[in-house]
Amino acid sequence: MYSSFSNKHLITTQDWTVEEIEKCLNTAKRLKENRQLNIPHDHILRSKTFFMLFFEESTRTRNSFEAGITQLGGHAIFLTPRATQIDHGETAKDTIKVLTRYGDGIGIRKTYGEGNRYMREVARYSEIPVINMQCEDYHPTQALADLLTIKEKFGDNLRGKKFVISWTYAPNYIRPLSMPQSLILLMPRFGMDVTLAHPEEFSLKPEIVEQAKANAREAGVKFNIVSNMEEAFEDAHIVYAKSWGPIMHTKDKKEGLALIEKYPDWMVDKRKMEIALKEAIYMHCMPADRDIEVTSEVLDGPQSVIYDEAENRLHINKALMALTMAHI
């Protein structure tokens, strides 16, 4: 079942067909059921090694991959630029050519700077699968876990469901565009009508927005962009609200932080959730700024599925590693 995925890279979900993504989701479901039923599956990646190269720290990404490959019978190795020769200038080519001889897969997280370019350079020379654990443009593993969560809540047929990805106020640092960009690309491909909401200075990369529009046209669904949070929430089935920086508007950090401060009312509370449908769910990839971008009442309330999302990172990452590394 895994042969067609052998050594397949995942830099963005655009790299995979809808059918391939469905196979990944179904594999994740089976692995999740096995874990719930205490059915051993540590034979799948027995004696396999997965390298995790982190340019920044992580909670859910590192632990879901590390726990996941352990449950599949393999071993994870945590790497950083400082703990390797990358900080001393070793090229992507030389790094991966060596690691290819030692292990069976690699994940890379580099969310600032040219992370996407670096990952594609690694993939160019890699003989093992390269998985994007988040770059400045994409966060495919989180988006896939989000899609799995939505399917668990609403069923496999998502046509007609309204998915809202909205900017929220969150101060102190500039967050990347990778999460909203990954969501607007993926969700239309699975039948959802997508609404993107943000203040005017917080637009996404134009080429990615155009690709999302093309995905929506191909799937026969709607893709809208609005500048009003309440308008976006009307008739929503899924409310996914998180912050990102005004990166397309300014590269100046001080100016960017000042722009964030213009919109403290862009936060999710019970009143805004009541604008959405009664059965609507609230989603966030975490960490969420409690009582700043979302109230604790919503975050801990009955509509919140944030911990289900976080758990599904484990199952999706296990599926990705099993499909690309097992060589069955």
pLDDT band at 320 (very low <50, low <70, confident <90, very high): very high
Q: Is the pLDDT of residue 54 over 60?
A: yes
Share of the chain above pLDDT 70, in %: 98
In sequence order, what are the beta bridge partners of 165? 196, 240
Q: Is the pLDDT of residue 3 over 70?
A: no
Q: Is the pLDDT of residue 62 over 90?
A: yes
- Same structural domain, 201 and 121: no
Which domain, by its residues, includes 285?
142-307
- Same structural domain, 25 and 170: no
pLDDT on residue 120: 98
pLDDT digits (tens, 9 = 90+) for 149-180: 999 999 999 999 999 999 999 999 999 999 99
- Same structural domain, 86 and 231: no
DSSP for 99-156, written as a single string? HHHH-SEEEEEE-SSSHHHHHHHHHHH-SS-EEEEEESS--HHHHHHHHHHHHHHH-S
As for how many domains the chain has, the answer is 2
- Same structural domain, 129 and 151: no
pLDDT band at 4 (very low <50, low <70, confident <90, very high): confident
- Same structural domain, 298 and 206: yes
Q: Check which CATH number belongs to the domain holding 315 and give it.
A: 3.40.50.1370
pLDDT on residue 2: 42
- Same structural domain, 109 and 157: no
- Same structural domain, 267 and 185: yes
- Same structural domain, 153 and 36: no
Q: Is the pLDDT of residue 233 over 70?
A: yes
- Same structural domain, 33 and 105: yes
- Same structural domain, 207 and 169: yes
Reduced to 3 states (helix: H, G, I; strand: E, B; else coil), residue 249 is coil
> Mean pLDDT across the chain, nearest whole number?
97
- Same structural domain, 202 and 131: no
The residue assigned the tokens 């509509």 is 303
pLDDT on residue 1: 42
On whether the CB atoms of residues 235 and 162 are closer than 8 A, the answer is yes
pLDDT on residue 327: 63
- Same structural domain, 199 and 272: yes
Distances (CA, A) of 246 to 47, 261, 265: 44, 11, 17
Stated pTM of the model = 0.97
Phi and psi of 68, rounded to 5°? -65, -45
Q: Is the pLDDT of residue 80 over 70?
A: yes
Q: What is the mean pLDDT of residues 52-75?
A: 97
